[in-house]
A and B are shown apart, each in its own frame.
Chain A
Amino acid sequence: MSSTTQGILDVSAQPSLIEGDPQLLELSMGPQHPSTHGVFRMNVVLDGETVVKLKPVFGYLHRNHEKIAEKQTYLGCMPYTDRLDYICSLTNNWAYARAVEELAAIKIPERAEYLRIITAELTRLQNHTCLVGFLMQDMGASGTPLMYAFREREKILDLFEALTGARMMCNYMRFGGCRVDTPAGWLAETQKVIDAYPKFLDEFEKLLTSNEILMARTQGVGKVSKELAVSAGLSGPMLRACGVNYDIRKVDRYGIYERFPFRVPLGDHGDVYDRYMIRLLEMRESLKILQQAMREIPEGPIQDPATKPRLFRPKVGEAYGRIECPKGELGFYLISDGTGTPYRFRVRPPSLINLTILEDMCLGATVADVVIILGSVDIVLGEVDR
């Protein structure tokens, strides 16, 4: 199961060996393969069990989100952003709201800032928990870790449902604030979930982190160098697992993140195991942020009264706004021509751009490794294909 990379990488450097070699086998992994996390296909050329070429094929879920947005009002685009990365709709909302707020210099009330941080960090918790569950499922740990993860995720989704009315398609944030205030008792319930979470993480880690099979399958698999990671535009846990200290929450200090002391976990090797560990460590940091936010959240308005989302018409100009969403850097680039609809609406999808070097990661690996390398990238096809 372990990968030996060096010798086989040399083979792939000579394309003549691939063309017309009767030894090689071309295999289509996906689009209905369960390990591809949706409708995603990889055309893999195999030499025995070893990958010598891999071409990802996209577009099965393409609905041209960006074109649809060009026919919508600015507010009308907000529910569509939920459908990008449908696991983390709240951070998608925030990224889009941030781009619009950059475009029109909108102020956000204090309480809304705290609600944004609380919902975003809860989203990060449930996304990373889920991802670890999926990764274990891909690795063959059938059932148990995934079900543990889903049990915890459901507690957070219940909170989202109580707050926004929907488990996954939250459509919660607005330019200049949030849509609704917390219902009675919501903060107390949230506090309960946050307080109970470290215990679950301890249990989860005890089950997995030092597991021999997990280590054998993931350590040294899918390695990426620091230089390649930066050049290829990797972001989020993928980038930090390679040891690059770049967290947009720290770099851009958007929202009120500068008030929260938290650490940025970094990896050493850039392999699948590091990506797994980074996510677990990030959850601990998110819990710290959440504890502080729950202590400090003030009373007050949740929407900037000067902004009218329904009649929103920004001045001519453009803005690029980005946030650290659980999967990486999610950015929105908006060009306004002064009307009520964006002239250009661009999504920078972290899932797609993290796949740029999928082939580089998989060359020389076995088919079983390809599955977990893809699992460790953490993709959602709603965002990859848009």
Chain B
Amino acid sequence: MIVEPIVESIKAAVPGAALEIVLNPSPSAQHSIVVDATHAVAVAKHLRDAVGLQFDYCSNVTGVDWLPKETSTTTKVKRMVDGVEQEVAEVTKTSTPGYFEAVYHLYSVALRHGPLVLRMRTIDREQTHMASLTPVWRSAEFQEREIFDLYGVHFDGHPDLRRLLMWDEFTDHPMRRDYVDPDDYEYEPTAHAEVLERARKHQEGAPS
């Protein structure tokens, strides 16, 4: 899809929305639009309802974890070394913070076009709140729950944000890139251990 006219249309309909186009260098040429979390719901509603766009079908919601990146650039600088001016290579390191991303693939059943790729990002990996688009597309309900479960991203405005695949007592988020596997796969912090403990106590106290 050509995203520029869509961006223009959003800018006209949702003033103040911070939009950014991310080009996709692969042959698939599925370029995407990044939208800020504050205006995401308004933008999504516009995409769904505007005549000519009508992206009524949210097919796929994906969570992505981007780790902080360190890039080093080498520049030649003139400097006084032992009283003589010399060219010295200087390495400057810049680090860009990591972030979580939710990627929505939108199609239009009515007009049969798509996919439009809509992205939402957190500021960094500490602040994990985003806007939920479940009120706009019901199909995001389970998929956002899955991202919450596996990445720990909180979708504000989601009607029922619980873990989907891991059990409720589980504390980590296994799809994060820095997730460390547990050493002991046998251990499961489920009610099972508690039940066993209670049973053991019961057995001990019971008159033999």
Contact = CB atoms under 8 A, between A and B. Distances in A.
Interface of A: 58-59, 62, 64, 66-67, 102-105, 228, 230-235, 244, 246, 251, 314-322, 329, 331, 333, 335-336, 344, 346, 348, 352-353, 355-357, 385-386
A228 B142 contact: no
B124 interface: no
A331 B109 contact: no
A355 B142 contact: yes
Contacts of B137: 231, 233
15 contacts: A59-B163, A64-B165, A64-B174, A64-B175, A67-B175, A103-B26, A104-B26, A105-B27, A232-B139, A233-B59, A317-B24, A318-B26, A321-B28, A333-B62, A348-B60
Interface of B: 24-28, 30, 56-60, 62, 64, 103, 105, 109, 112, 115, 117, 137-143, 150, 163-167, 174-175
A331 B59 CA distance: 9
A50 to B, nearest CB: 22
B77 to A, nearest CB: 31
Given A230-B56, A231-B139, A318-B26, 9 more contacts: A59-B165, A104-B27, A233-B140, A319-B28, A319-B30, A322-B59, A329-B59, A356-B139, A356-B141
B138 A231 contact: yes
A102 B112 contact: no
Given A233-B58, A233-B137, A318-B30, A335 B64 contact: yes
A235 B107 CA distance: 12
B30 A356 contact: no
Nearest to A246: B109
Interface centre among A234, A317, A386, by most chain B C-beta atoms within 10 angstroms, is A317
Nearest to A234: B139
A333 B32 CA distance: 13
Chain A to chain B: the 4 pairs with minimum beta-carbon distance, closest first: A317-B26, A233-B139, A105-B27, A319-B28
Contacts of B174: 64, 67
A333 B26 contact: no
Given A58-B164, A59-B166, A356-B141, A317 B109 contact: no
A94 to B, nearest CB: 17
